[in-house]
Amino acid sequence: MPTRIILMSGFKKVLNFNGLVLIPKTPYTKLSVNSINPNVVRLEYAVRGPIVQRAQEIEDSLKKGEKKGFDQIIKCNIGDCQAAGQKPITFIRNVLSVATSPDLFKSSSIPDDAKMRAKRFLDSCGGSVGVYSQSTGVQIVREDVARYIQNRDGLPANPNNIFLSSGASESILQLLATGGDESKRAGIMVPIPQYPLYSATNAEYNAYQVCTFLVGVRQTNSWGTNLFTFYTDMEFRTFFTMYSFIYILLKNP
């Protein structure tokens, strides 16, 4: 019976006892800087950059007993409040403890209101935190979020339009991944100074970063911008598709 063999570029043909075999010209044995996505190579995340790495090296040396002019490192590059000594909210910890270990329902050290909240959550998600939830998040939690938004803003909120995530950074990544089209690169307008997550995400997604530089406002001792600067930055949109504008608290970028 005749057999049709299609040779693809990137492969070489080798004849052995089993017939014609196709073998990749370049064997893919491991990942390297030269073989991974170049956008990942260009990615820089200052929150985990050289200064933070150096701080970690110093902290490790202190733990080994090396003597310096100080005995601890205080990391102020991110809002890691609890690392700086802030006490966690006890109620949240109690609810999480009971939800992850239901035996604590019998414990007298857990307040009743925390047990009630944990039971309400477990009843809505199959009785265990290990049960898979919907991709958008546990239904009852999304309903609570919708109710909170409605009480806060006075506007109706639909829980089916709410997506839960494991943190703000993950939400930002998901949103920025939805922009752009096949014809042009996606454009993201980022205020400068900025949180490094935005520029790092732009590099990862090969998006075009448009920088809107904030200036100090002497009268109010805060940060600001103006419409002239904003529209000047927008003039470059012929090179990309502008689809996102990051708005931050101008008084504290």
**φ, ψ for residue 150, nearest 5 deg:** -65, -40
β-strand partners of 217: 222
Of the candidates 33, 36, 45, the residue with the CA atom closest to the CA atom of residue 203 = 45
pLDDT above 60 (res 12): no
- Residue 91 tokens, joined: 């109620």
The domain limits of the chain are 44-82, 90-121, 177-245
CATH dotted code for 90-121? 1.10.287.1970
**Comparison of pLDDT for 187 and 224, the residue scoring more:** 187
Do 77 and 51 contact (CB within 8 A), yes or no? yes
List, for residues 188-227, the tens digit of each pLDDT value.
888 777 777 888 888 888 888 887 777 665 556 566 666 6
Instruction: Work out the angle at residue 210's Cα, subtended by the Cα atoms of residues 204 and 216, and round it to the nearest 5 degrees.
Output: 120
Three-state SS for 211?
A: strand
Of the candidates 244, 109, 237, 250, the residue with the CA atom closest to the CA atom of residue 189 = 244
Q: Is the pTM of this model over 0.75?
A: no
